[in-house]
Amino acid sequence: MLNISQKRIFCLKDVSIGKLLVGKSQKGIFHIALGDTAEQLFQEFMVRFGDAQQVVGDNVFKREVAHIIAMIETPKLVKQYNFPLDISGTVFQRQVWTALCDIPCGETISYKELACRLGMPNAFRAVAHACARNELAVIIPCHRVVRKNGFISGYRWGRKRKQILLQREQNG
């Protein structure tokens, strides 16, 4: 648990698809990012969350990060997360992110299909924008959303990473 002087903590880890940065507030995990270099992730994170402190000794946080890493490396073998999240977004973004969490591991959906599930069939561009605003890579599985024709579309953390994540989920 964070002590009163630590409003936000973070850690950087190596994963098979690059670098991982996980941020935690007193409410829960609020930021999960993937990138090519630790420096890039650190700089982007500190611009937005400059008061965060890098942490190594928090055992609860270590377990949460280990679970996130397992979701990246062996997604078929990992149960859904069961730790608190600190999610910020508009009502619509939260609706999209909640719907994303209902997409089973190994399956994909188009932006249009997701908009239809939300009862807003013409809002597929807004759905794509909400996916792009997701701060929680892997936990909120925006990588499971593809184009209507099934092709892999953009991904905040890199199209190649999206492709790898989908392959791991589909092939075990």
The CATH number covering residue 62 comes to 3.30.160.70
Please tell me the total count of domains within the chain. Answer: 2
Residue 84 in domain: no
Residue 142: active-site member: yes
Residue 132, H or E segment: helix 124-132
pLDDT in tens, 69-105: 999 999 988 877 889 999 999 999 999 999 999 999 9
Q: How confident is the model at residue 172 (pLDDT cuts 50, 70, 90)?
A: low
| For range 151-171, the mean pLDDT | 94
Cα torsion through 97, 98, 102, 103, rounded to 10: -10
High-pLDDT (> 70) share of the chain, %: 96
List 101, 105, 116, 142, catalytic entry: 142
| For range 155-159, the mean pLDDT | 95
Q: β-pairing, 8-15 with 53-54?
A: parallel
| For range 154-162, the mean pLDDT | 95
| Confidence at residue 82, expressed as pLDDT on a 0 to 100 scale | 86
Q: What is the CATH number of the domain that holds 157?
A: 1.10.10.10
Q: Are residues 112 and 155 in the same domain?
A: yes
Q: Are residues 72 and 98 in the same domain?
A: no
Strand, coil or helix: what is 153?
A: coil
pLDDT in tens, 40-65: 999 999 999 988 898 877 899 999 99
Question: By residue range, what is the domain housing residue 108?
Answer: 91-171
Q: How confident is the model at residue 134 (pLDDT cuts 50, 70, 90)?
A: very high
